[in-house]
Amino acid sequence: MTKSIGGHVASHATSSIDVVALLRSDAEAGLDEAEAQRRLAEGSRNELPDAPLRGPIARAWAQFNNPLILVLIAAGAITLALQDYVDSAVIFGVVLINAAIGFIQEGKAESALAAVRSMLANVADVVRDRRRREIPAADLVVGDVVLLEAGDRVPADLRLIAVRNLLVDESALTGESVAAEKADLAVNDDAPLGDRVGMAYSGTLVTSGTARGVVVATGRNTEVGRIGALVGGAGTLATPLTRALDQFARRITVVILIVSVAAFGFATLVDGRDVMESFLAVVGLAVAAIPEGLPAIITIILAIGTRVLARNRAIIRRLPAVETLGSVSVICTDKTGTLTRNEMTVVRLLLHDADVEVSGAGYEPVGDFTVGDRQLNDEQKRAVTALCRAAMLCNDASVHEGSDGIWQAVGDPMEAALVTVGRKFGIDHDDVIEECPRSDEIPFDPSLRLMVTAHEVSADAPRVLFVKGAPEEVLRMCANEDEDRWHGVVSEAAGRGERVLAFAVCESSAVDGPLQHETLPDGWQLLGMVSLMDPPRPEAIDSIAVCRTAGIRVIMITGDHAATAAAIGAQLGLGASSALTGNDIQSMDDAALRRALESHDVIARANPEDKMRLVSVLQESGSYVAMTGDGVNDAPALKSADIGVAMGGRGTDAARDASDLVLTDDNFATITQAVREGRVVFENVRKSLRFVLPTNGGQGGLILLALLIGLTLPVTVAQILWVNMVTTVTLALALAFEPGEKGVMQQAPRPKGEPLVTRGMLAQITYVSVIIIMVTLAAFSWELSRGSTIEVARTAAVNALVAAELLYLFNVRRLRTSSFHISTFTGNRAALIAAGILVILQLAFTYAPPMQVLFSTAPLDLASWMVIAALAIGMFVIVGLEKQILLNKKSRG
Ligand code: ADP
Ligand code: MG
């Protein structure tokens, strides 16, 4: 427990040395692995219970909390009171089946979301057996030594040991929004949480600086665990789309109820029909016309989309993002690691008087150093040694040979490449680190583009400082350098797409105290520069081309040199001869920036604040913006973008928390995939509307017509309830499983603000409703005209209605291909299964004796089936022809 280690002392009120000792740990070496495993086996994992999903009872209750269902229950109760047992049973059957389906589907959707979320497990940087490694945060034990850096979510309660400019956002715990400054200090036993400067608490967020800390409490014993705070709540299934649809459904319900009451009044008062019969007919009308299955169908479509995305290494953090993804019109993406492989290799060392070429690939420390075709002379060897040592010391990464013989990077790939180049030259990484232990540092800051480390060689020797960073920043610090020559050298390398890093050293006895960027001493000497290659990902090139045909702009934003960015941009196929730089952007007002963006796809030397401005300018000009980010400073831009995309691999926890989508493979191609899936989801929603609305409209219209014109009902109330039930659970659901249609990525993005149901859709919905009514009435009257009984005529009418809906489903499946093609009936197994089930249900409805009793149906002969088939096919042809005409018009226009 935080309050008491060993039962009596509070860790925030104890010196860190004592805490480490009490926990039988070691601030430098960490725990050893065996001890950590033992502690893990004895204690519990470092986990908090997930936010509970909505309980089954709440979920079940929600199924009945729906105006339509309440209307149905009322109708069921009244029919029961009137001793009309068959209709009453059917109505209650509908209620129960509907509720059961909603219940199961929503449960599935919720657990799918929860599963996807659990794929975003946290990791922690720990020191064990003197080695730094990444482990799942859940495996942390008390006594573990954890390393913190900017952007990390603190993985457990920690007593801080080595604190460097650490700022922690503790708002999750204390509500205090100003980040708290931390130090290795003990405070009073009774100090409130917010004042315990020597502690970092689980769930809080490191906004800058670095620190080491020893774990004093994990899981439920942490402060968050004890206040019962819930992290990573399951979220709700409600999205703007489902809410819009809910509202839409409610509105339709009200309209239909009003129409029903009016129809009831008309039938009984004006037409003088039987009250009981009219009442039942009106109930049937309402039930048939209300698209009660729609919200459930949309939820399923979103959940399926989320699952497909997760399988493709894109994890949705907020459900609404699935649909928003489909309307993205601009993707602003990082370069390094997203568009490039992030497998860096040092290809050249740039010394004062020579360019040294380095051979070898990957992180394996094997390669040659040559100048031209010659070996290095002694002078050059000395310079390379000094440069490589600096590159190893001003560095947080390491490389290791894996058991498979492949060398692996631990830490930042670029820094690992710097370790490799030194090892290629024969310098031992561990020796160098041991000789010159690091005493202080300024961690790499993307807006300074620098990293500084201080090293204590011995007690009386002066402190040695190294800087590594962007050439222009480092050159500025160094006196007596021929800046023009160096800029020429850098531009040349950058023009080939290489990234150049400069190194300088400063021996200083003058300064003491913690390193600060503002108070760095003078007297820096340039050691040379290192040029690294990071080739573009081949799949990124393809994806950018896909985006282009999909009407999506890709803008590359990087902290790299303008020439490097432009060269890589050209290799990727971005239409850019030159790059816009962060400085350019800062000197422009919004209007100028908007104009500049029209002709620039590459932004270089950009700061996180620049990203923020790009998002707002692009949004103002009507774009839906997806923005990637990985650093703690990227969080605001990620939040304000329509889709914030974080990197699961190299991104910080802060960036992940601010994002809607997390890429587990950090790959640009995955974003394109995700946008495609988002479009498929949206199209499936629209296809469902195109199917559900006219079929419900037709069913309701049929009864309304009969009531108003005074016809004998062509379909009884029980029968219309049956049709409504079976088509909702079979046909309408099938569209949720529709795979993406050819050409989804050959359309322009959906315009901002386009309504869910367009005019064209509305027209289709109306005329299809009318045709469905006509088909059903035609079958009914044909049967009557050839002298069939009313039972047979109604059975034929019901089957014609269902057959018409079935074929219409296949018409709706494809928006962009002709219906008169075999592919209309292939490619969606769910649709075929649904069709099969529906046929079986209809045969049972027609021929099974119990059904005949329940629904007053009668067997049909072959002639009836032929007429039904002809009518349904006729409708299929008409709707198909209409689509054909629209398609032809589009391809000509
Ligand atoms: P990117 O947008 O390509 O990821 P970064 O923001 O990571 O670019 O880096 C911007 C620039 O900062 C680089 O071009 C390089 O000059 C410098 N830089 C990057 N990483 C480091 C580091 N670890 N240490 C020092 N300088 C760095
Ligand atoms: Mg970077």
Q: Is 334 a catalytic residue?
A: yes
Q: At what angle do helices 56-64 and 67-81 cross, to 10 degrees?
A: 70
Q: Is 468 touching ligand 1 by the criterion CB < 6 Å?
A: yes
Closest-approaching ligand to the CA atom of 579: 1
Pocket test for ligand 1, best of 449, 609, 633 (most atoms within 8 A of CB): 449
**Ligand 1 atom closest to Cα of residue 336:** 3
Contacts of 598 (CB under 8 A, 6+ apart): none
- From CA 339, how far away is CA 567, in angstroms rounded? 13
- From CA 53, how far away is CA 59, in angstroms rounded? 10
Q: Is 441 touching ligand 1 by the criterion CB < 6 Å?
A: no
Kindly compute the dihedral angle of the four CA atoms of residues 340, 342, 347, 352, in this order, to the nearest 10 degrees: 100
Tokens describing residue 90: 């059917």
- From CA 572, how far away is CA 546, in angstroms rounded? 12
Q: Is 446 touching ligand 1 by the criterion CB < 6 Å?
A: yes
Cα-to-centroid distance, 421 and ligand 1 (Å): 18
Q: Is 631 touching ligand 1 by the criterion CB < 6 Å?
A: no
Cα-to-centroid distance, 777 and ligand 2 (Å): 68
Bridge-based pairing state of the strands 602-604 and 553-557: parallel
Residue-by-residue DSSP string for 642-657 = SEEEEETTT--HHHHH
Ion ligand 2 neighbours (CB, 5 A) are 336
Cα-to-centroid distance, 343 and ligand 1 (Å): 14
Which pLDDT score, from 0 to 100, does residue 233 have?
A: 39
Closest-approaching ligand to the CA atom of 628: 1
Residue nearest to atom 23 of ligand 1 (CA): 444
Q: Is 534 touching ligand 1 by the criterion CB < 6 Å?
A: no
Residues in the chain, pLDDT under 50? 1-4, 6-8, 230-235
Which pLDDT score, from 0 to 100, does residue 2 have?
A: 41
Identify the CA nearest to 144 among candidates 64, 94, 202: 202
Cα-to-centroid distance, 472 and ligand 1 (Å): 12
Other residues' Cβ atoms within 10 Å of the Cβ of residue 213: 29
**Ligand 1 atom closest to Cα of residue 415:** 23
369, β-bridge pairs: 358
Q: Is 321 touching ligand 1 by the criterion CB < 6 Å?
A: no
Q: Tens digit of pLDDT for each residue in 314-338? A: 988 877 788 889 899 999 999 999 9
- Among the options 84, 125, 139, 334, which is catalytic? 334
Other residues' Cβ atoms within 10 Å of the Cβ of residue 881: 13
131, β-bridge pairs: 128
Residue 856 DSSP class: T
Residue nearest to atom 5 of ligand 1 (CA): 559
- From CA 846, how far away is CA 784, in angstroms rounded? 17
Q: Is 415 touching ligand 1 by the criterion CB < 6 Å?
A: yes
Q: Is 344 touching ligand 1 by the criterion CB < 6 Å?
A: no
**Ligand 1 atom closest to Cα of residue 605:** 10
Which pLDDT score, from 0 to 100, does residue 511 have?
A: 59
Cα-to-centroid distance, 524 and ligand 2 (Å): 25
Q: Is 647 touching ligand 1 by the criterion CB < 6 Å?
A: no
Q: Tens digit of pLDDT for each residue in 445-478? A: 888 899 999 998 877 778 899 999 999 999 999 9
Identify the CA nearest to 798 among candidates 738, 752, 741, 854: 854
Query: Residue 620 burial by CB count (10 A; 0-12/13-18/19+): exposed, middle or buried?
Result: exposed
